[in-house]
Amino acid sequence: MQNVKQDRMFIFLAVMSIASTVGLQAWRTLFNNFAVEVVGLGGDHIGMIQSVREIPGFLALLVVFVALVIKEHRLSALSISVLGAGVALTGFFPSYLGVVLTTLLMSFGFHYFETTNQSLTLQYFDKHTSPWVMGKLRSYSSASAIIIGAIILVVSSYLSYVAMFAILGSLIIGVGIWGALQNPTRDDVVPQHKKMIFRKRYGLYYFLTFMAGARRQIFVAFAVFLLVEKFQFSVKEITLLFMLNNAINYFLSPLIGKAIIRFGEQKVLSTEYLSLIFIFIAYATVESKAIIAVLYILDHIFFNFSMGIRTFFQKIGDPAHMAPTMAVGFTINHIAAVVIPVLGGLAWIIDYRIPFIAGAIMSLISLLAIQFISRNIQEAELKHQTDCG
């Protein structure tokens, strides 16, 4: 894989991924404490803000049209700068409306980068290499998250939320400007369709993507909030937990990519969702602060297994469909993501356990659907052989 590491697109994606991770990790580390301590928000507010945060993901299909006028790698860099701007401005607007607007700006940058990141990875690296690339990029991201976590841990005692958001956001804007000046493209890549692509044979991919978005929202919107509200984790404790998470995933992410190559998507994803059933039930029942921290770490580890859904699509999809289908997939992923945080926030008011029980049920449904992956891959290979023949 040494040649891959020297590939210009790999280097570009690595730098952009690190910047994206730093921005999102800084925002996530500071957000819940900022929202509770400074803005004074409750569970219903958090649910609404998390729903707003997912609207840009729901609109990710527009990337296909934006790519008509902006090259995909330049759109990636621009998205990083927008992400940085959203983070930089957060502390300056300590109100419910202010948090909503800055969250929306940050989220547009993050989701549009992630859409182009996934697309470029599947275009520039083949199905035997892309799982390793995805794992390696996540590993780099985890390392950068550890570093930013350590920085926040040190400076949070000396700097205000305004200063931390502003400084970190400005650095990310700078990386985005650097990326806009790069040209990592090659001429041997299959040209992508510049229109929406929907195919019946991609149905399982669409469904798994939808369910992954629903499961992800329980994790993103309510797991950390559970730690802060119910178990009284401080910003330093949250930061330490994030650092430990990322230290573990720095080593595990490349191994997950290799596991997908060796064992296939069906076995890896089955392991994820079987484990999540028990993790979500435990979220709803555990009363120990130490155990809830362990559950969050395990949840974060299994979250990385989701790269198998994208590598599954690479095996069944037309090479010219990678970019438009990643955009469509991101939108499908966020259909549930726009709704679930609001419903979960309302359910939280009744009983905080409800969102986590729902997560366990969704994990069970996903586990059943995953059992059809191998058959889909075999059908796609047979179709390819028939078309070539």
Angstrom distance (rounded) from CA 3 to CA 9:
12
Question: Residue 165 has what pLDDT?
Answer: 93
End-to-end CA distance of the chain: 32
Question: Residue 389 has what pLDDT?
Answer: 56
Question: Residue 106 has what pLDDT?
Answer: 94
Question: Residue 328 has what pLDDT?
Answer: 81
Angstrom distance (rounded) from CA 72 to CA 64:
9
Question: Residue 156 has what pLDDT?
Answer: 82
Question: Residue 172 has what pLDDT?
Answer: 96
Predicted TM-score (pTM) of this structure: 0.79
Angstrom distance (rounded) from CA 337 to CA 174:
30
Complete domains list, the chain, with CATH = 2-388 (1.20.1250.20)
Which amino acid, 289?
K
Question: Residue 194 has what pLDDT?
Answer: 67
Residue ranges in the chain modelled with pLDDT below 50: none
Angstrom distance (rounded) from CA 379 to CA 383:
6
Q: Give one DSSP letter per residue of 342-383, joined into a string.
A: HHHHHHHHH-THHHHHHHHHHHHHHHHHHTTHHHHHHHHHHH
Q: What is the pLDDT of residues 175-184, one digit of tens each?
A: 999 999 988 8
Q: What is the pLDDT of residues 146-200, one digit of tens each?
A: 888 888 888 888 888 899 999 999 999 999 999 999 888 887 777 666 667 778 8
Q: Which DSSP symbol is given to 302?
A: H
Residue 157 has a CB neighbour count (10 Å cut-off) of: 8
Angstrom distance (rounded) from CA 242 to CA 220:
13
In sequence order, what are the residues at sequence separation of 6 or more whose Cβ sits closer than 8 angstroms to the Cβ of residue 373? Answer: 204, 264, 265, 266, 269, 312
Angstrom distance (rounded) from CA 45 to CA 151:
28
Q: Angle, nearest 10°, between helix axes 8-33 and 130-155?
A: 40
Q: What is the pLDDT of residues 36-53, one digit of tens each?
A: 788 887 767 777 787 788
Helices (H), the chain: 2-5, 8-33, 43-58, 63-66, 72-90, 96-124, 130-155, 161-180, 203-217, 224-229, 235-263, 265-285, 289-303, 307-316, 322-333, 335-350, 353-370, 373-388
Question: Residue 234 has what pLDDT?
Answer: 81
